[in-house]
């Protein structure tokens, strides 16, 4: 039987997990800057460029069940350490990728990084749910989300500073004006700018893996999982879990679209500094997580927060589709008075999706894992497969945007937010055993 965890006993584990969430948030949201960067370096179309996100997030599907076995074999702490080691390996692969300028090697590096994050997420999310009271799990995950998305705000800015500091003038138009030999030299110089930053990240991940391995982070014991008559159940007997997987599929898809395509939308609208635009989306996610920490569960239940998030997502998506790209009114109203750079209305609506998306992940996890006990590692791995939405749905956006335009592609998000709303209102209570 699981031992009760007091606030004093859970403080140190939460602090350690917080460091992990910050680090893999930084790595995950580098994709928002990496996609338009590699689109230029490797001369890719929109659909091809989104394969960068696909290779990263498809690892969550391919590797989820193997990583669940690693978790069951090694325990929570060792699994997190192994995951960090895999991330270090993936980041190191960016060095031969940059040297060769081969897009396939970049995709392989992304897949390895995604595999490490699969193990890290499979271990850390259920750990957070179980390290304290279930009713406040969303608040703990919201705290981790603040750290994760704060790193995401910094990642595109740091990327632009380290990689494009001396080459920010290069874009598709300036390259097209060069002679072929000059163009190849400029692209090679751009690619080589990746090597030092990713070597530094790889070293940091390796050091963190060793430190975690010898840390005081405790493993949590499991409870038996059985039905009322004592029959042992499998994860497939829990409809609220299976619908939770589908909900996370939809959620991660729209989260990745909001974070990773805003730079592409900015490029289509010929905005400057498009590699920094992801920071706007992530800043609104930090705001959303902060609100969640204040409001859940004191003023809002996890289900109510989830429903409100879905409704706001529907509003923002309709705003993207209906707004005028020549107008800056929305951002001027919301933050123009602060001196922060304003954005065309469709781009501002995409940034606001960060606020809509913030509380979905922390609300779905405790709702989907409720009553799973000893099945938590397997259920967690199943939920992790929902991250496949981040691989597949952005490709849907890419296909629609190439056919109908960059703004129209966001229509793919409407049914996703409708599914999230259904789960909040009804799906999370189906067959749930508390």
pLDDT tens for each residue of 122-159: 888 777 777 777 666 767 777 887 888 788 889 888 88
What confidence score (pLDDT) does residue 2 get?
40
- Yes or no: say if 367 and 378 are a contact pair by the CB < 8 Å rule: no
What is the residue whose two structure tokens read 């090597």?
A: 195
Q: What pTM was computed for the model?
A: 0.77
Q: What are phi and psi of 45, to 5 degrees?
A: -80, 175
Q: Specify whether domain 7-215+236-429 bears CATH 1.10.730.10.
A: no
CA 330 to chain CA centroid, Å, is 25
What confidence score (pLDDT) does residue 4 get?
42
Q: Is the dihedral of CA 158, 164, 165, 168 positive or negative?
A: negative
Residues of the chain with confidence (pLDDT) below 50: 1-8, 225-231
What confidence score (pLDDT) does residue 29 get?
82
Domain boundaries of the chain, sorted by first residue: 7-215+236-429
Q: In terms of C-beta distances under 8 Å and separation of at least 24 residues, what long-range contacts does 341-344 make, across chains too?
A: 343/266, 343/271, 343/277, 343/280, 344/269, 344/271
What confidence score (pLDDT) does residue 424 get?
96
Nearest to 289 by CA among 411, 141, 104: 141
Burial class (CB in 10 A: 0-12, 13-18, 19+), 167: exposed
List Cα–Cα distances, 218 to 17, 70, 376, in angstroms.
11, 17, 17
- Rg, the chain, Cα only: 21
What confidence score (pLDDT) does residue 300 get?
87
What confidence score (pLDDT) does residue 230 get?
47
d(CA 76, CA 98): 34
- Yes or no: say if 122 and 152 are a contact pair by the CB < 8 Å rule: no
What confidence score (pLDDT) does residue 39 get?
85
């Amino acid at each position: 039987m699981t031992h009760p965890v007091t606030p004093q006993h859970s403080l140190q584990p939460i602090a350690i997990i917080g460091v992990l969430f910050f680090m893999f948030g930084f790595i995950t949201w580098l994709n928002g800057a990496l996609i338009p960067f590699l689109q230029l370096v490797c001369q890719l179309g929109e659909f091809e460029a989104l394969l960068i996100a696909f290779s990263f997030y498809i690892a969550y599907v391919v590797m989820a069940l193997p990583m669940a076995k690693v978790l069951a074999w090694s325990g929570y702490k060792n699994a997190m350490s192994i995951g960090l080691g895999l991330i270090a390996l993936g980041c190191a692969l960016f060095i031969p990728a940059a040297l060769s300028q081969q897009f396939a090697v970049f995709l392989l590096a992304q897949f390895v990084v995604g595999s490490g994050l699969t193990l890290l997420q499979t271990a850390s999310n259920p750990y957070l749910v179980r390290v304290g009271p279930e009713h406040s799990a969303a608040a703990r995950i919201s705290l981790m989300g603040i750290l994760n998305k704060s790193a995401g705000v910094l990642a595109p800015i740091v990327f632009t500073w380290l990689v494009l500091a001396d080459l920010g003038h290069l874009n598709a138009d300036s390259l097209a004006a060069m002679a072929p030999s000059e163009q190849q030299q400029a692209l090679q110089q751009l690619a080589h700018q990746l090597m030092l930053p990713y070597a530094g990240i790889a070293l940091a991940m390796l050091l963190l893996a060793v430190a975690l391995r010898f840390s005081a982070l405790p493993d949590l014991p499991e409870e038996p999982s059985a039905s009322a008559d004592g029959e042992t159940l499998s994860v497939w007997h829990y409809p609220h879990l299976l619908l939770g997987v589908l909900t996370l599929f939809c959620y991660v898809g729209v989260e990745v679209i909001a974070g990773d395509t805003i730079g592409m939308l900015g490029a289509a609208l010929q905005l400057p500094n498009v590699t920094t635009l992801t920071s706007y989306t992530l800043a609104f996610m930090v705001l959303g997580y902060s609100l969640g920490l204040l409001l859940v569960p004191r003023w809002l239940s996890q289900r109510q927060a989830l429903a409100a998030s879905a409704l706001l997502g529907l509003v923002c998506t309709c705003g993207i589709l209906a707004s005028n790209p020549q107008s800056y009114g929305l951002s001027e109203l919301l933050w123009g008075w602060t001196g922060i750079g304003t954005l065309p209305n469709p781009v501002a609506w995409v940034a606001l999706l960060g606020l809509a998306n913030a509380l979905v992940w922390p609300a779905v996890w405790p709702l989907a894992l409720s009553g799973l006990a000893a099945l938590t590692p397997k259920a967690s791995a199943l939920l992790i497969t929902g991250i496949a939405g981040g691989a597949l749905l952005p490709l849907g956006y890419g296909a629609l945007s190439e056919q109908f335009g960059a703004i129209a592609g966001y229509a793919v998000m409407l049914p996703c937010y409708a599914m999230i709303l259904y789960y909040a209102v009804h799906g999370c209570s189906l067959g749930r055993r508390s």
